[in-house]
Chain A
């Protein structure tokens, strides 16, 4: 079920109405659990069973772990089972074909002809999100950071909570399970703020990403031939906006929907295109994933406690994993590793530049923001391109290395990309040191009402067949 669909509107109205009508907290949670499985099963009912099995195994393993003291061998064994089950499911559904293709290639290099079987595996929507979410639970219980829940219902609800189930934010058990204990204290305006966030999220997705940017990105990345520099850059910049508005739109909607039901989810984006440098970018982009990779991969590897060289290797490993998490293709790995290289270079140069007073001036910050943005755009080429030849062709076009290229975008599309991107960069720059809630609180009511109305009208004007969110495929 897509947020940008009529089905979801009816579903959400029914769920929200039922939730606030019910008096019992337990009944409310039961309702949300059933609704979450309906939400997920509406794509492909058998995968709801997979979701339950994954949840049930981690629930049982959490209880088993708690029976042994922290650090005990038995505890580690239960964790290994959890890792094997979760990563095994992920590996089979998401990486099975990819692994076989690479095996085929490797064997071919040593002269062995191997024809892998046709797997035709259907990827369960959002499996990367709920697998990681469920894993945070067993990892936290293993470390002794979290007491296991004794309620299967609460745990299944935590994994399946529909607003964030298929595309995040990735919620940690330690943040969510306590919210299941008792209803959050009433806060005036919470539902209105939730509805505003849902409108904003849908506006980002439907109007900005789908209507104003997606056609340019799709045309450029789908063009089979070389491109003139203007079109190559416009397509890549359009995708930088599309991916942000699409994913941030989903997260904003999810946070808003959860708020309407009395739950708080973590922020997933904090104006990332105003980042100064790449470590700053990753503190602002897909925060729930980057913090998860930091806490569960980077720090356990040793983080920056073992010298600069080891820290650099750890960063590259983390970004390799981050790239692969996004998709079973080497282009995603290249995207992640390129970000890793940026982070390593930044770390090496950071000490030199941070000491300079001029590097803290307004103009320097502005230039650094733009440079960071352009460097991030280059990584998006690998993220979006279907293969390396396409990425290479686009990069060559962007570098002006194409003798004869096509201009494939209409003037209107170019104007849309310029207007939206300039608006995006200015808004991120202006909001980079604050939060949306704080910023909007300074607005007069009439202005906020007008903006809300305009967004709602634009959504109604965009009625129609909803496009799936890009991050669903991950």
Chain B
């Protein structure tokens, strides 16, 4: 019986692998907290470190940055995250005196609570409490993920497949928006490349595109909290974030390190939404003024503003290489300040 069950399981697994490959999936790593922790362990006192949201992961090419800056950066961006906890984490590391390139999406950076902050804290916790069992599991996992297509946590687990079921929610239910589907590959240095199918117009690109708007639309205030109290809470949290960011940047600078903020390309209705919710004259300008850190806003430079994000939020693989090449001179200037 055990043998029969093993054989049947093996056959079903092979069939599932074949089906996934036919659907276009290829082996690639999962962007786990373990992989982040591994990269965090690679940070040296004088490293150049990229932090921020998924745009940092998709849009910045490590090879080009190494060529341009003379040192290979460590990628610590996190999908759907607020950059502040990682900035603070580096600032609190007394050994760190390197360079931080921080992708800034103002709405994500200033978010007072919720998944963007949790995503960052989860990764930091994993690094700080990384056990030998988790390390070995991570290496075994990478070995399999680089060979097996169906090992894609974002899209092909039972939980992810169940989430795809077209079941309508109750009217008025305060449930989070659906996350955009899988559309990238990742290597051991966490260099993320948009999947070609997502870069080309089609159903996948549409699913990704239309996932952003609900994701970037702030939820309505909870009905059980008075409006004034809610706005007060948000205001206090945002003010605190500005103050904390200033302290974190100053800590890094006091050790001889540098921080540069970068606003990476965004396109179409998503750009309109972001510009409306967090106009450039608001958080971006204030953060640069208060931290006295240099900033590079893609719209300020025609050569950086010449890219279109196929799914509104990230650059395609080839564009990300070219974009990084064009970004390097601006980065050098900013870091020389």
Known: A458-B158, A463-B153. Contact between A407 and B170, CB under 8 A? yes
Given A416-B162, A456-B9, A457-B9, A409 and B137 contact (CB-CB distance below 8 Å)? no
Once A448-B1, A463-B153 are accepted as A-B contacts, the answer to whether A7 and B133 lie under 8 Å apart by CB is yes
Q: Is the CB of A407 within 8 A of B9?
A: no
Task: Across the interface, name the chain B residue whose C-beta is closest to A231.
Answer: B173
Taken together as a complex, chains A and B put the C-alpha atoms of A449 and B222 apart, in Å, by 50
Write the nearest CB–CB distance from A388 to chain B, whole angstroms: 18
Which among B28-36, B59-67, B80-88, B186-194 touches the partner chain?
A: B28-36
Taking a contact as CB atoms under 8 Å apart, the answer to whether A196 and B159 are in contact is no
A449 to B11, CA, bound (A): 14
Check: A415 CB closer than 8 A to any chain B CB: yes
Q: How far is the CB of B149 from chain A (nearest CB, A)?
A: 12
Chain A residues lying within 8 Å of B231, measured Cβ to Cβ, are none
The verdict on A6 contacting chain B, using a C-beta distance below 8 Å, is yes
Say yes or no: A207 contacts B175, CB within 8 Å: no
Q: Are B158 and A408 in contact (CB under 8 A)?
A: no
B172 to chain A, nearest CB (A): 6
> Within the assembled complex, what's the spacing in Å between the Cα atoms of A463 and B153?
7
B223 near A449: Cβ-Cβ < 8 Å: no
Contact of A207 among B132, B158, B168, B170 (CB under 8 A): B158
> Given A6, A207, A412, A456, which contacts B5 in the complex, CB threshold below 8 Å?
A456
Per-residue contact bits, chain A 205-240, to B (CB 8 Å; 1 contact, 0 not)? 001000100010000000011100000000000000
Q: Which residues of A contact B141 (CB under 8 A)?
A: 6
Contacting pair B158 A461 (CB below 8 A): yes
Verify A409–B131 contact, CB threshold 8 A: no
Cβ contacts under 8 Å, A10 to chain B: 136, 140
* CB atoms of B151 and A406 under 8 A apart: no
Q: Is the CB of A465 within 8 A of B34?
A: yes
Interface residues of A in 433-474 (CB under 8 A from B): 445, 448-450, 452-453, 456-458, 460-466
Contact B153 A465 (CB under 8 A): yes
Interchain CA distance A404-B150 in the complex, whole Å: 44
Q: Are B224 and A404 in contact (CB under 8 A)?
A: yes
Assess whether B5 is in contact with A452, with CB atoms less than 8 Å apart: yes
Expressed in whole angstroms, the Cα–Cα distance for A185 and B67 within the complex equals 67
Partner among B134, B137, B167 whose Cβ is within 8 Å of the Cβ of A415: B167
Instruction: Give the shortest distance, in Å, between A206 (CB) and chain B (any CB).
Output: 9
In the complex, which residues of chain B have a beta carbon less than 8 angstroms from the beta carbon of A412? Answer: 162-163, 165, 167
User: Would you list 13 pairs from A and B whose C-beta atoms are within 8 A, ordered by A residue?
Assistant: A5-B137, A6-B141, A42-B132, A195-B2, A404-B224, A405-B224, A412-B167, A449-B8, A453-B4, A461-B16, A462-B157, A464-B30, A465-B153
Residues of chain A at the chain B interface (Cβ within 8 Å)? 1-2, 5-8, 10, 41-45, 192, 195-196, 207, 211, 215, 224-226, 404-412, 415-416, 445, 448-450, 452-453, 456-458, 460-466
Contacts A192-B2, A408-B174 aside, 8 further interface pairs with beta carbons under 8 A come to A1-B133, A10-B136, A43-B133, A207-B158, A410-B169, A415-B167, A457-B16, A465-B34
